[in-house]
Chains A and B, each alone.
Chain A
Amino acid sequence: GAVVSQHPSWVICKSGTSVKIECRSLDFQATTMFWYRQFPKQSLMLMATSNEGSKATYEQGVEKDKFLINHASLTLSTLTVTSAHPEDSSFYICSALPGQGTDTQYFGPGTRLTVL
């Protein structure tokens, strides 16, 4: 149980285009989902916290107009990188919190974004 999927697993796009990444909890409902970013050989950095049906909470320094997050249902959150630039190239990974009774987050397999 507690499986989280991400799609796509990798994407290459041209500078200036937008890319949407989906995060799905497959066998549980996630009241909260999180989006992280990881640069090579570095740790995960939280970008935003997404609660179903409400606006995402962004960490300091993360542009909310550039990284659009939508959490439309208890099993799906999307991250859209708008007008992507080469510096946005990174590994994006989501996690989902099943809800009451546990603090454990379950992570998706990640999406590797390369912006040319």
Chain B
Amino acid sequence: AQKITQTQPGMFVQEKEAVTLDCTYDTSDPSYGLFWYKQPSSGEMIFLIYQGSYDQQNATEGRYSLNFQKARKSANLVISASQLGDSAMYFCAMSKAQGNLIFGKGTKLSVKP
């Protein structure tokens, strides 16, 4: 069965520093997609970054990068130069064959000034 695991319920980071949010996954499908979404207290889910299972290079989007280690089945999110506005819940997700997503339990990131 497919599964996403986020082992960090909460993380603190000092403003302007980098932080890594962990995500491991389990699937037997050869083709899959990995996503990170940000959910602020307002509730909306904001797409951050995508990594395809066949992508050779790690995905990057501005201050976000995805550290994809296929053999270890990990897809950690790295946020560089943290900002106060980065404080939110962060969800790792994996796409299934039908297109729908399964989510991890999330990590609450708090950025300290």
Which residues of A pack against B, CB within 8 Å? 32, 34, 42-44, 46, 49, 57, 91, 93, 95, 97, 103-110, 112
Interface size class of B (residues with CB under 8 A): 20 to 34
Contact, CB under 8 Å: A97 / B43: no
Which residues of B pack against A, CB within 8 Å? 33, 35, 37, 42-47, 50, 52, 91, 95, 98-106
For residue A32, which residue of chain B has the nearest CB? B99
For residue A109, which residue of chain B has the nearest CB? B44
**Main SS class of interface, B:** strand
For residue B91, which residue of chain A has the nearest CB? A43
Measured between beta carbons, the chain A residues less than 8 angstroms from B99 are: 32, 34, 49, 97, 103, 105
For residue A91, which residue of chain B has the nearest CB? B43
Cβ-closest 6 pairs across A and B: A107-B45, A103-B33, A109-B44, A110-B43, A43-B103, A103-B95
Contact, CB under 8 Å: A42 / B43: no
Measured between beta carbons, the chain B residues less than 8 angstroms from A46 are: 100-102
Contact, CB under 8 Å: A43 / B47: no
